[in-house]
Amino acid sequence: MAAGFQVVYEDLGDMASAFMTESTQFAGLRPRMAPAPVDGGEATVNAGIAAVLSLFASLNAGISAAMEEHGTKLRECRDDYKENDADVVALYNKVIEEA
């Protein structure tokens, strides 16, 4: 690791949890972001309203999925750091025993 750089496992875990929780919360907003379309009085207007609301629903789904993916990657990053640190300690102990 670079000088002065320290990985804080709990911080990575907290960020992962925050992303996962907030992705669920954001996904829960989907019905409010894309309510049932109203009647605009004309088929073309109705189609336009439905298309915009469908786009909002798709954007919400994409953003919440991306947030969940970031949470998963942060959790994997934390786990990888812990595993690598454990491997380094084990290697160090083995080298010291054999020296």
Convert the pLDDT of each residue in 17-70 to its tens digit.
Answer: 999 999 999 999 999 988 888 898 999 999 999 999 999 999 999 999 999 999
End-to-end CA distance of the chain: 25
DSSP class of residue 41 equals S
CA trace torsion 57, 58, 59, 64 (10° rounding) = 90
pTM: 0.72
The reply to whether 2 falls in a domain is: no
Q: Which residues contact 4 (CB under 8 A, 6 or more apart)?
A: none
Question: How many structural domains does the chain have?
Answer: 1
Answer whether residue 4 is part of any domain. no
CA angle (57 as vertex; 61, 41 as ends), nearest 5: 175
> Does any domain span residue 19?
yes
Which residues form the domain of 45? 9-98
The answer to whether residue 3 sits within a structural domain is no
1 domain residue, yes or no:
no
Instruction: Compute the distance between CA of residue 99 and CA of residue 93 in angstroms, rounded to an integer.
Output: 10
